[in-house]
Structure 1
Amino acid sequence: MTTIALLASMLIGGADADERAAHPTIAYKILTRPETEALRTHGRFAGSPADLADGFIHLSTAEQLTGTADRHFPGQTDLFLAAVNVEATGETMKWERSPRSGLIFPHLYGVLEQRWVMSLAPLRRDSEGRVVVGISSASPDGPSPPA
Structure 2
Amino acid sequence: MATPTYIYKIVPSSAPPSSPLPDALPVSDLDKADNFIHLSTALQVPETLKRFFGNVEQVYILRITYSQVESKVKWEDSRGTGPGGVGEPDTFPHLYNDLRLGKNEVESVVKWERGSNDWNAAINKAKEDAWFIY
TM-score in same-fold range (> 0.5): yes
In 1, the alpha carbon distance for the partners of 2:79 and 2:39 equals: 15
What pairs up with 1:80-99 in 2 under 5 angstroms? 80-98=60-78
* Cα distance change on mapping 1:124 and 1:63 into 2, 3 Å: farther
Counterpart pick for 1:62 among 38, 42, 57: 42
CA distance change for structure 1 residues 129 and 50 in 2, over 3 Å: closer, same or farther?
Answer: same
1:52 match: secondary structure: helix
- The one-letter code of the counterpart of 2:92 is F
Residue 121 of structure 1: aligned partner? 110
- In the TM superposition, 1:30-45 aligns within 5 A as 30-38=10-18, 40=20, 42-45=22-25
Higher helix share: 1
% identical equivalent positions: 30
Q: Given that residues 78 and 92 in structure 2 are in contact (C-alpha distance below 8 angstroms), is that contact kept between their aligned partners in structure 1?
A: yes
Displacement after TM superposition at 1:117 (Å) = 1.4
**Large movers: runs of 4+ above 6 Å:** none
State the distance in 1 between where 2:29 and 2:79 align: 19
In structure 2, C-alpha distance between the alignment counterparts of 1:31 and 1:71, rounded to whole Å? 14
Partner of 1:123, secondary structure, is strand
1:105 aligns with 2:99: no
Amino acid at match of 2:96: Y
TM-score where L is the length of structure 2: 0.70
Change (3 A) 1:90 1:118: same
Question: Aligned equivalents of 1:91 and 1:128: distance in 2?
Answer: 34
Counterpart Cα distance in 1 of 2:95 and 2:19: 15
Number of aligned positions between the proteins? 115
Higher RCO (CA < 8 A, seq sep 6+): 2
Between 1:126-135 and 1:108-117, the stretch displaced more is 126-135
